[in-house]
Amino acid sequence: LGMVKSFKYMIVGGGVAAGYAAREFDRQGLKPEQLAIISKESVAPYERPTLSKGYLNPNPKAAARLPEFHVCVGSGGDRLLPDWYKEKGIQLILGTEIVKVNLALKTLVSAAGEIFKFQTLIIATGSTVIRLTDFKVEGADAKNIFYLRELEDADKLVESIKMKKYGKAVIIGGGYIGLEVAAAMRINDFDVTMVYPDPWCMPRLFTPAMAAFYESYYENKGIKIIKGTVSVGFNANANGEVKGVKLKDGRVLEADIVVVGVGARPLTALFKGQLEEDKGGIKTDGFFKTSMPGVYAVGDVATFPIKLYNETRRVEHVDHARKSAEHAVKAIKANETGEELEEYDYLPYFYSRIFELSWQFYGDNVGESLYFRDNNPLSPKPKFGSYWIKDGKVVGAFLEGGTPEENKAIAKVSRLNPPVGNLDQLKKEGLSFASKF
């Protein structure tokens, strides 16, 4: 048996949530050697959204590289370099995968057989990508078929972009990864084709009117879009490198690089049978406590109560990863001191940046949607948005091309849920409706 390392607090997973949790532990007061973070990745926590944006910038001088984008720079905070953890006496145990967990005995076991013991655990294992090999798609293990989740994935993609200069890229999936990586590949001068089964891109969030704008914007950038079909197989050359993407409708697309973004799934398998689950995630209360005392779950893996909507949800976006981590640490500390803490009261916030575009969304995209303002894909700085109205109240708002003040206004209106008398009037007022609050 290996030596057992014991810590008062442990975080399993070293992504966005882990980094923000570490900062919050420090703010709340931490003694050296009380906290350890165990991460499968070989680098300190960083702002994951950079991987599909600045990291893929073709200009070597402008491309984002570590240590630039360690947390917490993505939300305007200080950058926590590996030395910061050292100075604080926080053990950053990198390149270490936890493969076995016994929550009742409060132990974690790594792939190398190391044993860790904790008093309080935060689960922050995030998500993993869904792979086409999971569905046994023929040839899906060919070389140059990429996924994008971790730094290592991004490095492989960047390497291949250099090798296949001016080549053809096929992007599978029309969600977040699909849209962001298609834009990045085009900026890298690839001939880009997107393929997705849905009738329009990003149906999770976009209405047909919103999607129509982005699709024509992409087409104007020279990106080809094939909707309503999926890839059913891949051809490879003698070196095992992908050469063609076979579509269900019979077409074959030439490809030097394929990037797949067909969704993610939360990494909960380690805890199966040991924790209550809900909606595919680990069930927590409004303090991110799981069904096991002393065990918390945050970020992508947590299914938590959203007070605003009186239901439980899982959120796979960075803002929630940051805020849930901070809230869990506050809850852990409040538990120790007996202080009062409010339950998490989250307003969902998602964003994306592609080409020169940038959008933000707040609230809930349910009920009736109402599209407003200029949607000309050729206008130099497009600005348009959407409200969602449920039971006569604004419950969500989306804005493309907003200024910081305008984005604040749509956030506010999504939180306040003002009643809407007349939809035609709201459409006419557009953004100025939100700016009134």
The one-letter amino acid code at 93 reads: I
Q: Is 222 left (phi over 0), alpha (psi -120 to 50) or beta?
A: left
Q: Per rule CB under 6 A, is residue 200 in the interface with ligand NAD?
A: no
163 vs 30: CA distance, rounded Å:
47
Binding-residue pattern over the window 39 to 58 for ligand NAD, x denoting contact by CB under 6 A:
-------------x------
What is the SS3 assignment for 308? Answer: helix
Query: 288 - beta bridge partners?
Result: none
Give the integer Cα–Cα distance in Å for 85 and 34: 12
**Candidates 81-89, 163-171, 318-326, 371-379 — which segment interacts with ligand FDA by CB under 6 A?**
318-326
Q: For residue 258, with 0-12 CB atoms within 10 Å meaning exposed, 13-18 middle and 19 or more buried, which class applies?
A: buried
- Rounded Cα distance between 52 and 181, Å, is 6
Number of residues that bind ligand NAD (CB under 6 A): 24
Residue 97 contact partner, candidates ligand FDA, ligand NAD, none, CB within 5 to 8 A by sort of partner = ligand FDA
**Among the listed residues 266, 33, 260, the one whose alpha carbon sits nearest the alpha carbon of residue 146:** 260
Q: Rule CB under 6 A: is residue 126 a binding residue for ligand FDA?
A: yes
- Asked if 172 touches ligand NAD (CB under 6 A), the answer is yes
Among 215, 241, 316, 400, the residue binding ligand NAD under the rule CB under 6 A is 316
Residue 196 or 371 having the CB closest to ligand NAD: 196
- List 263, 294, 367, 418, residue binding ligand NAD (CB under 6 A): 263
Report the sign of the C-alpha dihedral through residues 293, 330, 317, 100, in that order.
negative
Task: Round to whole Å and give the CA distance between 233 and 38.
Answer: 37
Q: How far is the CB of 179 from ligand FDA (least distance, A)?
A: 10
Residue labelled with tokens 């926080």: 90
16 binds ligand NAD (CB under 6 A): no
Which residues are bridge partners to 358 per DSSP? 353
- What span, in angstroms and rounded, lies between the C-alpha atoms of 393 and 374? 24
Binding mask 141-160 for ligand FDA (x = CB under 6 A): -------xxx----------
Residue 153 binds ligand NAD, judged by CB under 6 A: no
How many residues make up the chain in this entry?
Answer: 437
Taking CB under 6 A as the rule, which mask of x and - marks residues 334-363 in contact with ligand NAD? Answer: ----------------x-x-----------
Question: Which one of residues 39, 96, 127, 324 is an interface residue with ligand NAD (CB under 6 A)?
Answer: 127
Binding site for ligand FDA (CB under 6 A): 12-18, 38-41, 48-49, 51-52, 97-98, 124-127, 148-150, 267, 270, 299-300, 316-319, 321, 350-352
Binding site for ligand NAD (CB under 6 A): 52, 127, 172-178, 180, 196-198, 204, 230-231, 261-264, 316-317, 350, 352
